[in-house]
Amino acid sequence: MVNIASLVDEILEGKGYVLLPSVLSTEQANEARSLVLKLAREQRQEGQLLIYENRERVYDLIYEHKIFEFMVQHSRVIEVIEAILGTDMTLGDFSAHILRPGASSMGLHIDYPYWTMKPPFPSFPVMEIQVIWMVEDFTQENGSTCFAPGTQKLCSPPDPIQFSKMAQKITGKAGSVVISHGLCWHDTSINSTLEPRVSILGNYNPKFVRPLRDPLHYMQRSVIDRASSKLKQLLGYEFQSAILNDFKRIR
């Protein structure tokens, strides 16, 4: 039995992140990885893929397959995030990050919205929780994410020298999940293998934080029609529904 309180304490007052193993089955992780690579290939051919130095990003995954709808609202993950951000939190982004062979680190950073703010950053309320889905094994060689434990408590921009002394690679099996505080300093490492390394990133915010990307921008009616109340909440669909209802009343 997972102790949610201890996980929350580790994220807020401990290392700033936790690793949950076996959240997805191996088959589910493989399916998600294959779909991401397929989408990246199609978007590359159409000239729509965001590419930077052997690193690629695939956005708006929720509307691409039911496996992504399942992942973004997975109960084991959501209950930890809600214990920190509240039950009415929203989705800031849900995308895939591909490190092609030879990809260098993406750059030391903290997460949105903190990097848009002037330091020192507020310790409360927490404004972002990130989820890293390992849809394949994260190893010492394939670009695993590095975290500097405890740096979320500094409420400051990352310091490269200090990070180099503190950083730890987070390795794990396919299907594992890392849940981290948006203020915890982190970076990808170098992919020195011959295969692409795929992760899926979910960013969650309190209701009052403007999402990094509008999750309804590419809304598909079929997804909304079958969506759970939790998924509609994460997508911010309740706002759109309220606006439409007000408009009808005004008319």
CATH at residue 45: 2.60.120.620
Please state the rounded mean pLDDT for residues 18-33: 98
* Tens of pLDDT, residues 29-43: 999 999 999 999 999
Structural domain of residue 54, as residue ranges? 4-250
Domain count, the chain: 1
* Tens of pLDDT, residues 139-194: 999 999 999 999 999 999 999 999 999 999 999 999 999 999 999 999 999 999 99
Q: Rounded CA gap, 206 and 202, in Å?
A: 14
Element (H, E) at 205: strand 197-205
Residue of 116, 96, 115 lying closest to 107 (CA atoms): 115
User: Does residue 221 register a pLDDT over 80?
Assistant: no
* Tens of pLDDT, residues 83-108: 999 999 999 999 999 999 999 889 99
Say if CB 62 and CB 94 are below 8 A apart: yes
Predicted pLDDT at 174: 98
pTM of the model: 0.92
